[in-house]
Amino acid sequence: MTGSHCYCFSGIISIFFSLIIHTLSSTTPHFCLHHQREALLEFRDEFPIDELDPNPWNKNTTDCCLWKGVMCDDRSGQVISLNLADTSLNGSFKTNSSLFRLQYLRHLKLSYCNIQGEIPSSLGNLSRLTVIDLSHNNLVGEIPASIGNLKRLRHVELGANTLIGAIPSSLGILNQLRYLSLAANELTGEIPSSLGNLSSLLELRLSINHLVGQVPASIGNLNDLQVISLGQNTLNGTIPTSFANLTKLYHISLRSNNFTSTLPFNMSGFHNLEHFDVAANSFLGSFPKSLFTIPSLQVVYLDDNQFTGPIEFVNTSKSSSSPKLEILSLSSNIFIGLVPESISNFLNLGEINLCENNFNGPIPRSISKLVNLHDLNLANNNLKGQVSASLWRLTTVTLSNNFFSSFENPSEETVIQALDLNSNSFQGPFPHWVCNAKGLSFLDLSNNLFNGSIPLCLKNSIVSFSDLILRNNSFSGPLPDIFASATELRSLDVSRNHLEGNLPKSLMNCKSLQLVNMESNSIKDVFPTWLGSLPSLHVLILRSNEFHGTLHHHHVFVGFQSLRIIDISRNDFTGTLPPHCFSSWRGMTILREEDDPYMADIINDSVFYRNSMVMVIKGVELSFERIQQDFRAIDFSGNRIYGEIPESLSFLKELHLLNLSGNAFTSHIPRSLANLTKLETLDLSRNKLSGQIPRDLGELSSLSYMNFSSNLLRGPVPGSTQFQRQNCSSFSDNDRLFGLEEICGKIQVSPPTSQQHEQLSEPEEQLFNWGAAAIAYGPGVFCGLVIGHIFTSHYHKSWSKKNTIKGR
């Protein structure tokens, strides 16, 4: 090799290594700066955490740029990003937090960190920030106005906290902002018009607050806006006409406000729109036909408004309509007329909800063309005619409260999971095709004209049942013994039929059972003590049957630890109640916060079944569609039970209603009933009770109704306010009671002399010893759902999905 060639080659090698050295020096991260490291360590020490796994923040790890959630600039070593999302910091920001010494910080992400306290105004000193995410914490106080100092911000996420006060108008200065979410807080006041200056904004999420007033017209200046979510506030007025400028919107949610205007006449300009939700307002006007000409439209919620007139779809050719429409919900409006056949042109429809309107006529046959349809709700209309067998291929069908009279039987096995035919005019025998519905979970045939027997073949499908509701028909014969494999069954309501015979013992296998309602049949059996072994039984209704036998056995009420409502009234039970018969009823003794607010069996996140109940209150039968979680009731009225009222009733501290009327109870009224501090209704009428009315009952502030009539009571009626508010009839037919002048408005005979009064007085009774009683209680078992006043089953289809920060 010549010298010139060697020189050339060595030059190339030199240049090559120089490039490598330059590249390495420009890409290899520097160790973080000492003052940055110290600031991070001080920030760690502001919170009660031991370490940040998997890379602990401690002095033994020199390079803080390698710590969890820390990112440094490759050239300078300055900390530019801190992402500790999902780290339980469990503390509050300090006003002078060392965090604010990280002056080169661009990204700050501390979501789901359990941070409490206020957002310090010092945050406004981090002038290089482009991203702030403090969502899903426990932050309180106001959003500091100093946030307007952060001119480089592009992303602000403060949702799911408890922030209060007004939205700072200084946010309108942040002209580089592309994403703003303040959703799910406690913010008040109006939406500041300065937000209309955010010319780069793509998403505006202010839902689930307490904002008031009208939406400022300046929002129409945000020409690049793609998402606007203002749902669940108290906004009112009209939609600004300037919204027509927001042609890039693909998500609009104004749900649950007080808007009262009409929708824009021509909405076709929102040519990118996918999700449109204005449910739960007071929008007026006719069906917005132009909305359904948008090809990109996928979801429409117009529920719970005041839209009127017929619904019709125009320009429904595939090229100009909404071929992607998947959810159509028009419930709770004033729509009239037929459900148009043209609804089938939206071939991608999966959910249709038209309930609670005034639609009439038949179900359009064209619905059978919707091959993707799985959920249909036509409840509470004036629809009639025959139900097509094509509907049985759907997952959920709700046709309750209409005038349907018949249905076609399916030609093949159905895949239906929830079927509600409640309150129509169906008649004839039980539909045997249900026996082949292997996946059926919810069945409500109540309030129809079905007759004949409940078939044995139902045991083939009941394996998957959670709710079987056959209330108020004319079914007869015995309730078949078909429940051996019904381990998922939670609600069984066969009330108000003509059933007879005994209760099937196979119900013992229904370990998930929460409701048994046998009211108003002709069942002849003894009290089903064996039901006490069901761990989740909340409600037992045997009212108005031919149950009989004595109740004095000590084991008759053993178990029933989750029982909250029991009604065995209007039967032929006899015998005495054992003194400790209620001592195991934990469900009426304590109330747990985790109890569900209502009896609601949820299917596919959208189907709710609620039981209601008929009970005798103030001497009148009242029906309640649902009750709150804490209602507890005992109704033993209209039997032949005798002996003393058991002292163990005073264990049941959560009891709201106690009705022992129409029996043959004797002796005195226990003073220990005054321990029932939640009691609202007490009916002891039509017994053989003697002695005085305990004055302590007058201290029960919640007790609004009492009835002691038709007994052998004597002595003065207590003078407390609770007694003086009762009707005179509540004390009638007790010849030796006195002191009723103010209650009855009559002049009575002179009160007894002091000697007579002494003869009427009784020895002081000992209040029930709660300390000793507590020994009898073991750990309580609370499972499942809570019901309320029972007897009228109601199946309700709700399309109000749970809102999320990224949702409506």
Residue 790: per-residue pLDDT? 27
Contact yes or no for 105/79 (Cβ under 8 A)? yes
| Residue 770 near residue 602 (C-beta atoms within 8 A) | no
**Is the per-residue pLDDT at 614 higher than 80?**
no
216 vs 202: CA distance, rounded Å: 17
Q: What are phi and psi of 228, to 5 degrees?
A: -130, 120
Q: pLDDT band at 755, cuts 50/70/90?
A: very low
Binned at pLDDT 50, 70 and 90, residue 622 comes out as low
Cα separation values, 569 from 13, 416, 528, 574, Å: 102, 37, 14, 12
Q: Can you name the CATH fold of 517-588+628-763+775-786?
A: 3.80.10
Task: Check residues 322 and 762 and name the one with the higher pLDDT.
Answer: 322
- Tokens standing for residue 601: 């069996």
**Phi first, then psi: what are they for 588, rounded to 5°?**
-105, 5
233 has a pLDDT exceeding 90: yes
Query: Looking at the predicted structure, is the pLDDT value of residue 749 above 70?
Result: no
pLDDT at residue 618, as a whole number: 54
CB atoms within 10 A of CB 25: 10
Residue 46: what pLDDT? 87
Upper half-sphere CA count for residue 762 (Cβ side, 13 Å) = 17
Amino acid at 564: R
Residues in the chain: 808
Tokens 């009224």 correspond to 669
**Structure confidence at residue 11 (pLDDT):** 46
Q: ∠702-704-707 over CA atoms, to 5°?
A: 130
- Place 753 in a pLDDT band, splitting at 50, 70 and 90: very low
Average pLDDT over residues 685-703: 94
Contacts (Cβ under 8 Å, ≥6 apart) of 236? 212, 213, 214, 257, 258, 259, 260
State the pLDDT at residue 742. Answer: 82
Global model pTM greater than 0.85: no
More confident residue, 785 or 308: 308
Residue 764 has a pLDDT of: 32
* Coil/strand/helix, residue 742: helix
Looking at this protein, which amino acid is placed at residue 500?
E
Dump pLDDT digits (tens) for 252-282: 999 999 999 999 989 999 999 999 999 999 9
- Does the pLDDT at position 317 exceed 60? no
**In contact, 222 and 196? CB cutoff 8 Å:** yes
Helix (H) or strand (E) holding 619: none
Whole-number pLDDT of residue 62 = 75
Q: Span 392-401, mean pLDDT?
A: 96
Say if CB 115 and CB 91 are below 8 A apart: yes
Nearest in space to 115 (alpha carbons), one of 145, 144, 86, 82 = 86
* Contact predicate 206/184, CB 8 Å: no
Residue range 123-147: average pLDDT?
96
* Cβ atoms of residues 90 and 47 within 8 Å: yes
| pLDDT confidence band for 613 (50 / 70 / 90) | low
pLDDT reading at 429 higher than 90: yes
Provide the pLDDT for residue 77.
87
Mean pLDDT of the residues in the chain: 84
Q: Assess contact for 206 and 228: CB atoms under 8 A.
A: no
Distance CA 742, CA 122 (A): 68
Q: Is the pLDDT of residue 511 over 60?
A: yes
Question: Angle at Cα 472 formed by Cα 468 and Cα 478, nearest 5°?
Answer: 65
Report residue 251 as tokens. Answer: 């998500």
**Quick check: 5 pLDDT over 80?**
no
In this prediction, residue 150 carries a pLDDT of: 96
CA–chain centroid gap for 29, Å, is: 51
β-strand partners of 610? 794
* Domain edges within the chain: 517-588+628-763+775-786
In eight-state DSSP terms, residue 76 is T
Tell me which range, 31-40, 588-597, 696-705, is most confidently predicted by mean pLDDT.
696-705
- Band of residue 246 on the pLDDT scale cut at 50, 70, 90: very high
Percent of residues, the chain, with pLDDT higher than 70:
82
Which amino acid, one-letter code, is at 291? L
User: Percentage of the chain with pLDDT > 90?
Assistant: 71
pLDDT tens, residue by residue, 165-223: 999 999 999 999 999 999 999 999 999 999 999 999 999 999 999 999 999 999 999 99
